Amino acid sequence: MPGFLVIGPQKSGSTALHSFLQLHPNIVSSHPSRDTFEEVQFFSIAVNYKRGVDWYLEFFPAANESVTLFEKSATYFDVEHVPLRVNRLLPRADIVVILIDPGERAYSWYQHMRAHNDPTALMYTFHDIITAGADSPRPVLSLQSRCLEPGKYVTHLEKWVTQVTARRLIIVDGDQLKNDPVTVMNNLQSSLNIQTFFDYSNNLFFDKSKGFYCMKVRGKKKCLGKGKGRAYPPMNQTSVEWLSKYYKKFNENLKELLLKYGYTLPEWLTSELSLRS
């Protein structure tokens, strides 16, 4: 049984967290899936869920008590029935959520779709997509929804809090994961109650050519693949402002929710709200 789940959302840095966690000798990930690669996506995809618990548990290697098993499926965060399903099967598992500025997350998703030659993302600008009206073509509305909906963090987190109690939700600041992963990983071990401490400062380093932190594995440099940490132009100011207004209420409510349960606010949230107040 997994001891914890990394649930996303998509484009928040979940692949980096998944890779960094596996450097720890006592933390072991699920096996890759034939269909969905590093993610099992048991709780979020209906056909997988119907395959049942035994199918799910086959993704996890046999482990002794000194090992903590986990899986990362970034779609768990915002898919409707997942919190309830997770709570039923894994009532004791910790849940790790990574939060970045929702506007940046939206832009990263759009760039991800362009990089995958999605015709809609190639045909329309980011601003066209996020501001498209309800009478727009279906593919535009679908891409708009994939850009904007997951970033309504408070809406999704409320469902998780109801199901799993705030004590078991661990919030990681995605900006800090990007800029100071050693601190994030060192703190996360204590939040997850991992008994053996692994000092990440020996295994993570900033790589100038990648522009992101990479890992040192058996003396060799290992960065995430070219689909993670892509180079693309910065978002234009009009979209930055539009998104800031769009997410204002959601971000204010997120702040309230996090404070209510005693979480430290991510820095991007504090500065976003102070800029717009």
Q: Is 10 in the site for ligand A3P (CB under 6 A)?
A: yes
Counts for the chain of helices (H) and strands (E), in that order: 13, 8
Q: Is 183 left (phi over 0), alpha (psi -120 to 50) or beta?
A: alpha
Return the exposure string of 173-206: e unless at least 16 CB atoms fall within 10 Å of the residue's CB, then b. bbbbbbeebbebbeebbeebebeeebebeebbee
- Examine residue 15 and tell whether it contacts ligand A3P (CB under 6 A): yes
Residue 228 sits in the site that holds ligand A3P (CB under 6 A): yes
Quick one: which of 80, 11, 124 has its CA closest to 133?
124
- What is the torsion angle, in degrees rounded to the nearest 10, for the CA atoms of residue 66, residue 94, residue 264 and residue 163? -170
- Nearer to ligand A3P by Cβ, of 1 and 115: the residue is 115
Of these, 213, 246, 247, 268, which contacts ligand A3P (CB under 6 A)? 213
SS3 breakdown of the chain: % helix, strand, coil, rounded to 5?
A: 50, 15, 35
Is position 12 an interface residue for ligand A3P (rule: CB under 6 A)?
yes
Residue 127 binding ligand A3P, by CB under 6 A: no
| Residue 11 C-beta: closest distance to ligand A3P, Å | 5
- Tell how strand 212-217 and strand 204-207 pair up: antiparallel
Q: Name the residue nearer to ligand A3P (CB basis): 161 or 204.
A: 204
- 2 interacts with ligand A3P by CB under 6 A: no
159 binds ligand A3P (CB under 6 A): no
CA gap 74, 96 in Å, rounded: 10
29 binds ligand A3P (CB under 6 A): no
- Work out whether 172 is an interface residue with ligand A3P (CB under 6 A): no
* Residue from 5, 28, 74, 185 binding ligand A3P (CB under 6 A): 74
Evaluate whether 157 touches 269 at the Cβ level (below 8 Å). no
Instruction: Please report how close the Cβ of residue 91 comes to ligand A3P at its closest, in angstroms.
Output: 26
Joined together, the tokens standing for residue 252 give: 């204010």
- Which span sits near ligand A3P by CB under 6 A: 153-161, 228-236, 243-251, 257-265? 228-236
Q: Which of 11, 72, 178, 255 is catalytic?
A: 11
Active site includes 216? no
Q: Which is nearer to ligand A3P, 15 or 251 (CB)?
A: 15
> Does the footprint of ligand A3P cover residue 82 (CB under 6 A)?
no
Per CB under 6 A, 24 contacts ligand A3P: no
Should residue 243 be labelled a site residue for ligand A3P when binding is judged by CB under 6 A?
A: no
Residues of this chain that interact with ligand A3P (CB under 6 A) are: 10-16, 74, 108, 111, 177-178, 212-213, 224, 228-230
